């Protein structure tokens, strides 16, 4: 005998279609519909998304009845306590031609609702043979499932409403990403568990609350702890990918950038987030670079300065397969950075090492990135240089650049330094290879060398950071690309196609490259006089000799400043700068001309 109660409007789960994962529907087909009626179990959900079948393997069944076992109730309680979901209702099979819940089904569910005052509704799902009616869900190739919701009313009664169903393709999308999510479990029979000793027991997804919303936590197969947190609104709302911080263990999970487009197909997007969480290198991503460089996965590069130069070089390195980077920069991303760096509007206000690390991981989920958000002069360079294959120097503080270059040369680490001249009309690339006996950075472009006059003005005139100047991104990227090519050549080695082009330059000591982005820069107009075919870009590579008295690469080199001494020097310089600023402010004219104290407007700083 069947019975139906008046349909009532409702909110929450019963306001729209009842959403079941495809894995749950497949489990119902496999465990319940595959055997003669009746057969049943409980359903657990994560918010509005129903995902887990708990089969009543201890229940008493006949061709027209199901007596729910006490074991099922106990199993549901244990699963709820363990955080695998919340009871959403029951599902069971009926004989053919009986697609609606019986009076007993309704009474049993009403009793369960009374025993669970924290719930305001429970589902009764009925599976029977036949083609789906409107709103029913197909189960396998021969069955249909009708969905009925029993909910409390304001007067304490209960109302039954038939609801539409919707299958969410979460299981298929996860499977395409190489992830298995268990959608069914049972009750261990008397005498022990159903699985034989030593067999793997199912790993059920957990349910956690994140930003006050329940989410399915699905483990991602990986060498490091990683997971996807699936929102109940999937695929309209995207998952959040998380992974363990290196060295932090499973307890130190961090969220990864998890962009999501609800209009685009969800499967490829979910697979991308899974790769990011697992730290999987994209197959064949560097196929068109490896013939020139070989595998650079074991290389570790220190990038000092993550502005328009450093961020571009870092991206080129990762796209070519470099496996590990350390990034040092004290500044956040600002609006002025967007015209000539790799950053986006969403990165404004984020520390550059963090923003750059997120972009690099989006390119290659396997890349390891360590960020140091501090001035170079306050960094323990001895620690940062440990295990480094190459240094990329792209800071806007020439004092810090000299300190880094000294440490790198003393440690025998090759370095590529890149800097832009005024208005990016030209720039310099310096290559130092201690093992090849090249001159150091200071001998090539340090204070007092000819190239020093072409750099932008320094803040406060005390050898501090270079002031940011207006310059086009393509001009900066042109010089930066030369530096990135040199960096890749040094990493690949002289026996590679990418490295062989540096062999002659290093052998002849031509370690200073001057690259003009304008046709008549400085001495280039005399150098190329009469060559009407010449136009920017132009370059020359200057031979640089080592000075015997140089404290870095000379006959009697001195050790670089220790971290403690560098900190003391930076503090002293900061105090001196502040003192001069106060003195200039006291002597400044009072005319209201919009000028900064001390004369002239202060350009917005940006790393070049």
**Segment 47-66, tens digit of pLDDT:** 999 999 999 999 999 988 99
Which phi-psi region, left, alpha or beta, contains residue 448 (left: φ > 0; alpha: ψ -120 to 50)?
left
Residue 403 pLDDT > 50, yes or no?
yes
Residue 317 pLDDT > 60, yes or no?
yes
Can you tell me whether residue 510 is helix, strand or coil? strand
Which residues is 294 bridged to in the sheet? none
**Residue 8 has what pLDDT?**
35
**Residue 571 has what pLDDT?**
67
Measured distance CA(53)–CA(150) in Å, rounded: 19
**Residue 11 has what pLDDT?**
34
Q: What is the mean pLDDT of residues 510-519?
A: 91
Residue 547 pLDDT > 60, yes or no?
yes
**Residue 55 has what pLDDT?**
96
**Residue 566 has what pLDDT?**
66
**Residue 338 has what pLDDT?**
92
What is the torsion angle, in degrees rounded to the nearest 10, for the CA atoms of residue 30, residue 33, residue 36 and residue 41?
Answer: 90
Tokens of 55: 């089969």
Q: What is the mean pLDDT of residues 95-111?
A: 92
**Segment 127-178, tens digit of pLDDT:** 999 999 888 999 999 999 999 999 988 777 888 999 999 999 999 999 999 9
Q: Using N-to-C axis directions, what is the helix angle for 310-319 and 473-492, rounded to 10°? A: 50
Task: Count how many Cα atoms sit within 13 Å of the Cα of residue 476 in the half-sphere of its side chain.
Answer: 26
**Residue 202 has what pLDDT?**
55
**Segment 451-497, tens digit of pLDDT:** 666 665 665 444 456 666 666 788 889 999 999 999 999 999 999 99
Contact assessment for residue 301 and residue 391, using Cβ atoms and an 8 Å cutoff: yes
Residues of the chain with CATH 3.40.50.720: 290-543
C-alpha pair distances (Å), 194 with each of 29, 59, 69, 199, 205: 20, 15, 17, 10, 20
Residue 188 pLDDT > 70, yes or no?
no
**Higher per-residue pLDDT: 117 or 145:** 145
Instruction: Return the CATH number of the domain spanning residue range 12-168.
Output: 3.40.140.10
Measured distance CA(465)–CA(458) in Å, rounded: 6
pLDDT range class, residue 35, cuts 50, 70, 90: very high
pLDDT range class, residue 603, cuts 50, 70, 90: very low
298 DSSP assignment: T
Q: What pTM, to 2 d.p., does this model score?
A: 0.72
Tokens of 454: 């072409």
Q: Which of 38-42, 113-117, 497-501 is the least confident region?
A: 113-117
**Segment 153-163, tens digit of pLDDT:** 877 788 899 99
Contact assessment for residue 191 and residue 57, using Cβ atoms and an 8 Å cutoff: no
Instruction: Return the CATH number of the domain spanning residue range 290-543.
Output: 3.40.50.720
Measured distance CA(371)–CA(355) in Å, rounded: 10
pLDDT range class, residue 539, cuts 50, 70, 90: confident
**Closest residue by Cα to residue 380 from 350, 403, 414:** 403
Sole residue written with tokens 């657990």: 44
Q: Using N-to-C axis directions, what is the helix angle for 352-363 and 310-319, rounded to 10°? A: 20
Q: What is the mean pLDDT of residues 218-227?
A: 90
Q: Which residues of 52-69 are buried (b: 16+ CB within 10 A; e: fewer)?
A: bbbbbbbbebeeeebebb
Measured distance CA(560)–CA(495) in Å, rounded: 32
Cis before 286 (ω within 30):
no
Q: What is the mean pLDDT of residues 346-367?
A: 93
Which phi-psi region, left, alpha or beta, contains residue 412 (left: φ > 0; alpha: ψ -120 to 50)?
left
Measured distance CA(520)–CA(532) in Å, rounded: 12
Residue 159 burial (10 A CB sphere; 0-12, 13-18, 19+): middle
412 DSSP assignment: T
pLDDT range class, residue 601, cuts 50, 70, 90: very low
Residues of the chain with CATH 3.40.140.10: 12-168
**Residue 200 has what pLDDT?**
47
Q: What is the mean pLDDT of residues 199-219?
A: 83
Percent of the chain with pLDDT over 90: 58
Q: Rounded to an integer, what is the distance from CA 17 to the centroid of its chain?
A: 34
Q: What is the mean pLDDT of residues 224-250?
A: 84
Can you tell me whether residue 74 is helix, strand or coil? helix
Contact assessment for residue 40 and residue 68, using Cβ atoms and an 8 Å cutoff: yes
Other C-beta atoms within 10 Å of 19: how many? 22
Percent of the chain with pLDDT over 70: 83
Residue 107 pLDDT > 60, yes or no?
yes
**Residue 6 has what pLDDT?**
35
pLDDT range class, residue 251, cuts 50, 70, 90: low
Q: What is the mean pLDDT of the chain?
A: 85
Q: Which residues of 85-107 are buried (b: 16+ CB within 10 A; e: fewer)?
A: bbbbbbbbbbeeebbbbbeebbe
Contact assessment for residue 43 and residue 89, using Cβ atoms and an 8 Å cutoff: yes
**Closest residue by Cα to residue 422 from 282, 523, 516, 306:** 516
**Residue 9 has what pLDDT?**
34
**Segment 275-302, tens digit of pLDDT:** 989 888 888 888 888 889 999 999 999 9
**Residue 448 has what pLDDT?**
66
């Amino acid at each position: 005998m069947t019975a139906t109660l008046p349909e009532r409007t409702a909110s929450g789960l019963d306001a729209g279609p009842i959403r079941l994962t495809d894995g749950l529907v497949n489990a119902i087909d496999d465990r319940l519909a595959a055997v003669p009626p009746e057969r049943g179990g409980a359903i657990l959900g994560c918010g509005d998304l129903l995902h887990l079948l708990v089969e009543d393997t201890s229940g008493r069944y006949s061709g027209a009845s199901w007596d729910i076992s006490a074991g099922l109730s106990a199993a549901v309680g244990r699963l709820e306590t363990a955080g695998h979901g919340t009871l959403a209702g029951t599902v069971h099979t009926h004989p053919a031609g009986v697609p609606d819940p019986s009076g007993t089904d309704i009474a049993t569910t009403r009793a369960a609702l009374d025993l669970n005052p924290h719930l305001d509704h429970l589902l009764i799902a009925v599976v029977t043979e036949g083609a789906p009616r409107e709103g029913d869900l197909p189960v396998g190739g021969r069955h249909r499932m009708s969905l009925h919701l029993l909910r409390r009313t304001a007067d304490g009664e209960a109302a039954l409403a038939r609801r539409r169903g919707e299958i969410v393709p979460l299981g298929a999308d996860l499977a395409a990403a190489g992830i298995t999510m268990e959608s069914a479990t049972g009750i261990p029979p008397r005498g022990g568990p159903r699985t034989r000793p030593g067999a793997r027991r199912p790993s059920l997804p957990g349910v956690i609350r994140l930003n006050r919303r329940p989410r399915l936590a699905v483990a991602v197969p990986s060498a490091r702890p990683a997971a996807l947190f699936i929102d109940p609104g999937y695929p309209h709302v995207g998952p959040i990918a998380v992974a363990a911080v290196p060295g932090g263990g499973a307890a130190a999970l961090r969220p990864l950038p998890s962009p999501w487009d609800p209009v685009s197909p969800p499967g490829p997007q979910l697979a991308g987030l899974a790769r990011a969480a697992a730290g999987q290198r994209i197959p064949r991503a560097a196929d068109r670079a490896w013939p020139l460089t070989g595998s650079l996965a074991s290389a570790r590069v220190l990038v000092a300065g993550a502005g328009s130069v450093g961020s571009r070089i870092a991206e080129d390195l990762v796209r070519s397969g470099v496996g590990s980077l350390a990034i040092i920069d004290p500044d956040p991303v600002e609006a002025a950075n967007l015209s000539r760096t790799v950053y986006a509007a969403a990165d404004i206000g984020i520390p550059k090492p963090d923003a750059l690390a997120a972009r690099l991981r989006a390119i290659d989920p396997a890349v390891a990135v360590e960020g140091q958000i501090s001035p170079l002069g306050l960094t323990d360079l001895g620690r940062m240089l440990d295990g480094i294959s190459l240094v990329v120097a792209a800071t806007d503080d020439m004092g810090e650049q000299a300190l880094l270059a000294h440490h790198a040369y003393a440690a025998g680490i090759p370095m590529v330094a890149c800097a832009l001249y005024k208005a990016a009309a030209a720039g310099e690339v310096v290559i130092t290879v201690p093992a090849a006996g090249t001159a150091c950075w200071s001998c090539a472009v340090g204070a007092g060398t000819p190239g020093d006059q072409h750099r932008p003005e320094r803040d406060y005139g005390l050898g501090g950071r270079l002031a940011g100047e207006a310059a086009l991104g393509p001009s900066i990227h042109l010089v930066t690309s030369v530096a990135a090519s040199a960096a890749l050549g040094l990493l690949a080695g002289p026996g590679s196609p990418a490295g062989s082009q540096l062999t002659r330059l290093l052998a002849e000591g031509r370690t200073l490259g001057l690259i003009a982005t304008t046709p008549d820069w400085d001495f280039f107009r005399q150098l190329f006089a009469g060559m009407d075919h010449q136009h920017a870009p132009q370059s020359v590579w200057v031979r640089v000799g080592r000075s015997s008295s140089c404290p870095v690469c000379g006959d009697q080199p001195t050790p670089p400043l220790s971290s403690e001494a560098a900190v003391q020097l930076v503090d002293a310089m900061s105090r001196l700068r502040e003192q001069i600023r106060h003195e200039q402010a006291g002597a400044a004219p009072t005319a209201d001309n919009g000028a900064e104290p001390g004369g002239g407007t202060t350009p917005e700083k940006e790393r070049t």
